Protein backbone atom coordinates (compact mmCIF):
# COMPACT_ATOMS: atom_id res chain seq x y z
CA UNK A 1 0.00 0.00 0.00
CA UNK A 2 1.49 3.33 -1.04
CA UNK A 3 2.26 5.90 1.62
CA UNK A 4 0.50 9.21 1.37
CA UNK A 5 2.82 12.10 0.54
CA UNK A 6 2.73 15.86 0.45
CA UNK A 7 1.29 15.55 -3.08
CA UNK A 8 -1.91 14.16 -1.58
CA UNK A 9 -2.51 17.41 0.33
CA UNK A 10 -5.07 19.52 -1.49
CA UNK A 11 -4.57 23.27 -1.77
CA UNK A 12 -6.62 26.26 -2.82
CA UNK A 13 -8.33 26.81 -5.24
CA UNK A 14 -9.69 23.30 -4.54
CA UNK A 15 -13.28 23.98 -3.49
CA UNK A 16 -13.40 20.90 -1.24
CA UNK A 17 -11.52 22.91 1.40
CA UNK A 18 -14.69 25.02 1.81
CA UNK A 19 -16.90 22.02 2.60
CA UNK A 20 -18.03 21.07 6.06
CA UNK A 21 -16.73 17.68 7.12
CA UNK A 22 -18.94 14.87 8.41
CA UNK A 23 -18.91 13.43 11.91
CA UNK A 24 -17.29 10.07 12.47
CA UNK A 25 -19.60 7.57 14.17
CA UNK A 26 -17.16 4.75 14.88
CA UNK A 27 -13.41 4.20 14.77
CA UNK A 28 -13.10 1.71 11.92
CA UNK A 29 -10.01 0.31 10.15
CA UNK A 30 -10.70 2.93 7.45
CA UNK A 31 -10.47 5.71 10.03
CA UNK A 32 -7.25 4.24 11.41
CA UNK A 33 -5.83 4.14 7.87
CA UNK A 34 -6.97 7.74 7.30
CA UNK A 35 -5.07 8.86 10.42
CA UNK A 36 -1.93 7.06 9.28
CA UNK A 37 -2.26 8.74 5.86
CA UNK A 38 -2.65 12.17 7.47
CA UNK A 39 0.48 11.69 9.56
CA UNK A 40 2.52 10.46 6.60
CA UNK A 41 1.41 13.35 4.40
CA UNK A 42 2.28 15.89 7.12
CA UNK A 43 5.76 14.47 7.70
CA UNK A 44 6.46 14.23 3.97
CA UNK A 45 5.41 17.86 3.54
CA UNK A 46 7.67 18.90 6.40
CA UNK A 47 10.60 16.96 4.95
CA UNK A 48 10.32 19.07 1.80
CA UNK A 49 10.58 22.34 3.76
CA UNK A 50 13.67 23.90 5.21
CA UNK A 51 12.09 26.45 7.55
CA UNK A 52 8.69 25.01 8.38
CA UNK A 53 7.25 22.33 10.64
CA UNK A 54 4.08 20.36 9.94
CA UNK A 55 2.25 20.74 13.24
CA UNK A 56 -1.24 19.48 12.45
CA UNK A 57 -3.59 18.38 9.68
CA UNK A 58 -7.33 18.03 9.19
CA UNK A 59 -8.69 15.13 7.12
CA UNK A 60 -10.22 17.45 4.52
CA UNK A 61 -6.66 18.50 3.64
CA UNK A 62 -6.11 15.07 2.10
CA UNK A 63 -9.55 15.36 0.49
CA UNK A 64 -11.43 13.28 3.06
CA UNK A 65 -14.40 15.28 4.42
CA UNK A 66 -14.37 13.74 7.89
CA UNK A 67 -14.02 15.46 11.26
CA UNK A 68 -10.58 14.11 12.11
CA UNK A 69 -7.56 16.18 13.17
CA UNK A 70 -4.03 15.08 14.03
CA UNK A 71 -1.79 17.32 16.14
CA UNK A 72 1.94 16.87 16.60
CA UNK A 73 2.96 15.85 20.11
CA UNK A 74 6.18 17.86 20.03
CA UNK A 75 6.48 20.96 17.82
CA UNK A 76 10.05 21.62 18.94
CA UNK A 77 11.48 18.28 17.86
CA UNK A 78 11.20 17.51 14.15
CA UNK A 79 12.51 14.00 14.82
CA UNK A 80 9.42 13.21 16.93
CA UNK A 81 6.88 11.99 14.38
CA UNK A 82 4.15 11.16 16.89
CA UNK A 83 0.71 12.76 16.81
CA UNK A 84 -2.37 12.91 19.00
CA UNK A 85 -5.67 12.13 17.29
CA UNK A 86 -8.85 14.17 17.74
CA UNK A 87 -12.02 12.74 16.19
CA UNK A 88 -15.07 15.05 15.96
CA UNK A 89 -13.22 17.83 17.83
CA UNK A 90 -15.36 20.70 19.11
CA UNK A 91 -14.36 23.85 20.95
CA UNK A 92 -16.64 23.94 23.98
CA UNK A 93 -15.35 27.23 25.38
CA UNK A 94 -13.22 30.16 24.23
CA UNK A 95 -11.21 31.81 26.98
CA UNK A 96 -8.26 34.11 27.56
CA UNK A 97 -7.81 37.12 25.34
CA UNK A 98 -7.67 37.57 21.61
CA UNK A 99 -4.17 37.89 20.19
CA UNK A 100 -2.89 38.05 16.63
CA UNK A 101 -0.01 35.89 15.47
CA UNK A 102 1.32 34.37 12.27
CA UNK A 103 -0.39 31.36 10.75
CA UNK A 104 0.32 29.33 7.67
CA UNK A 105 -1.50 26.39 6.20
CA UNK A 106 -0.39 23.40 4.17
CA UNK A 107 -3.45 23.99 1.98
CA UNK A 108 -2.78 27.69 1.35
CA UNK A 109 0.40 27.82 -0.65
CA UNK A 110 3.02 30.49 -0.02
CA UNK A 111 0.84 32.80 2.08
CA UNK A 112 1.01 33.51 5.79
CA UNK A 113 -1.41 35.61 7.79
CA UNK A 114 -1.54 37.57 11.02
CA UNK A 115 -4.66 36.02 12.52
CA UNK A 116 -6.58 36.96 15.69
CA UNK A 117 -7.40 33.96 17.90
CA UNK A 118 -8.33 33.24 21.51
CA UNK A 119 -5.35 32.39 23.71
CA UNK A 120 -7.17 29.56 25.49
CA UNK A 121 -9.76 27.03 24.36
CA UNK A 122 -11.41 23.96 25.80
CA UNK A 123 -11.81 21.10 23.35
CA UNK A 124 -13.71 17.85 23.50
CA UNK A 125 -13.10 15.04 21.05
CA UNK A 126 -13.18 11.30 20.62
CA UNK A 127 -9.98 9.30 20.81
CA UNK A 128 -8.90 6.26 18.83
CA UNK A 129 -10.41 4.12 21.58
CA UNK A 130 -13.83 5.58 20.78
CA UNK A 131 -14.05 7.41 24.10
CA UNK A 132 -14.67 11.10 24.61
CA UNK A 133 -11.92 13.13 26.21
CA UNK A 134 -11.31 16.80 26.90
CA UNK A 135 -8.28 19.06 26.77
CA UNK A 136 -7.58 22.65 27.65
CA UNK A 137 -5.14 24.29 25.26
CA UNK A 138 -3.33 27.59 25.62
CA UNK A 139 -1.29 29.87 23.39
CA UNK A 140 0.18 28.12 20.31
CA UNK A 141 -1.75 24.90 20.90
CA UNK A 142 -5.00 26.84 21.30
CA UNK A 143 -4.28 28.53 17.96
CA UNK A 144 -3.71 25.15 16.31
CA UNK A 145 -7.03 23.81 17.54
CA UNK A 146 -8.90 26.86 16.32
CA UNK A 147 -7.19 26.60 12.92
CA UNK A 148 -7.79 22.86 12.50
CA UNK A 149 -11.36 22.82 13.81
CA UNK A 150 -12.09 25.66 11.37
CA UNK A 151 -10.97 23.26 8.62
CA UNK A 152 -13.64 20.76 9.69
CA UNK A 153 -16.19 23.55 9.17
CA UNK A 154 -14.90 24.59 5.76
CA UNK A 155 -13.20 27.74 7.08
CA UNK A 156 -9.61 28.74 6.28
CA UNK A 157 -7.47 31.09 8.32
CA UNK A 158 -7.42 33.62 5.49
CA UNK A 159 -11.20 34.01 5.85
CA UNK A 160 -10.66 35.65 9.26
CA UNK A 161 -8.41 38.35 7.77
CA UNK A 162 -9.94 38.75 4.31
CA UNK A 163 -10.30 42.53 4.60
CA UNK A 164 -7.16 43.27 6.62
CA UNK A 165 -4.73 44.77 4.14
CA UNK A 166 -1.76 44.44 6.51
CA UNK A 167 -2.29 40.82 7.55
CA UNK A 168 -0.70 38.92 4.64
CA UNK A 169 2.89 37.73 4.40
CA UNK A 170 5.13 35.35 2.47
CA UNK A 171 8.16 33.37 3.51
CA UNK A 172 11.37 34.84 2.15
CA UNK A 173 14.37 32.73 1.13
CA UNK A 174 16.08 32.88 4.51
CA UNK A 175 12.97 31.89 6.41
CA UNK A 176 11.73 35.28 7.55
CA UNK A 177 8.28 36.64 6.73
CA UNK A 178 7.79 39.70 4.58
CA UNK A 179 4.64 41.63 3.74
CA UNK A 180 2.67 40.89 0.57
CA UNK A 181 1.06 43.67 -1.44
CA UNK A 182 -2.65 43.26 -0.68
CA UNK A 183 -4.07 45.10 -3.69
CA UNK A 184 -2.11 43.22 -6.34
CA UNK A 185 -1.66 39.76 -4.81
CA UNK A 186 -4.48 39.15 -2.33
CA UNK A 187 -7.58 41.28 -2.84
CA UNK A 188 -8.96 39.77 -6.05
CA UNK A 189 -7.01 36.51 -6.03
CA UNK A 190 -9.53 33.95 -7.34
CA UNK A 191 -7.24 31.10 -6.27
CA UNK A 192 -7.79 31.85 -2.60
CA UNK A 193 -11.26 33.42 -2.42
CA UNK A 194 -14.51 31.84 -3.40
CA UNK A 195 -16.23 33.46 -6.35
Q: Is 195 among the domain residues?
A: no
79: burial class by Cβ within 10 Å (0-12, 13-18, 19+)?
exposed
Beta bridge partners of 170: 178
Q: Is 191 among the domain residues?
A: no
Confidence of residue 171 (pLDDT cuts 50, 70, 90): confident
Instruction: Check if the beta carbon of residue 113 is closer than 8 Å to that of residue 167.
Output: yes
Q: Is 52 among the domain residues?
A: yes
Say which of 30, 50, 95, 148 is annotated catalytic.
148
Q: Is 18 among the domain residues?
A: yes
Mean pLDDT in residue range 186-191: 94
Q: Please count the structural domains in the chain.
A: 1
Domain of residue 48, CATH code: 3.90.45.10
Mean pLDDT in residue range 32-49: 95
Structural domain containing residue 175: 6-186
Instruction: Check if the beta carbon of residue 169 is closer than 8 Å to that of residue 112.
Output: yes
Active site residue 30: no
The answer to whether residue 2 scores a pLDDT higher than 90 is: no
> How high is the mean pLDDT of the chain?
95
Tens of pLDDT, residues 84-142:
999 999 999 999 999 999 999 999 998 999 999 999 999 999 999 999 999 999 999 99
Q: Is 192 among the domain residues?
A: no
> What pLDDT sits at residue 195?
67
Q: Is 160 among the domain residues?
A: yes
d(CA 158, CA 168): 9
> What pLDDT sits at residue 143?
98
> What pLDDT sits at residue 53?
86
> What pLDDT sits at residue 1?
59
**Low-confidence winner among 62-66, 111-115, 190-194 (lowest mean pLDDT):** 190-194
Q: Is 54 among the domain residues?
A: yes
Q: How is the chain split among helix, strand and coil, in percent rounded to 5?
A: 30, 35, 40
Q: Is 194 among the domain residues?
A: no
Q: Which residue has the higher pLDDT, 2 or 57?
A: 57
Amino acid sequence: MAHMTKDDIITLPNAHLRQRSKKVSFVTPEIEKLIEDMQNATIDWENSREHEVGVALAAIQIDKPLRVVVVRNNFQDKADHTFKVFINPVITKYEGEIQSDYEGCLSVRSIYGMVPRHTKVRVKAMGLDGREFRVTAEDFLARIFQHEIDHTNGILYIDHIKHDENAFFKLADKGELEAIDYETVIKNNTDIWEE
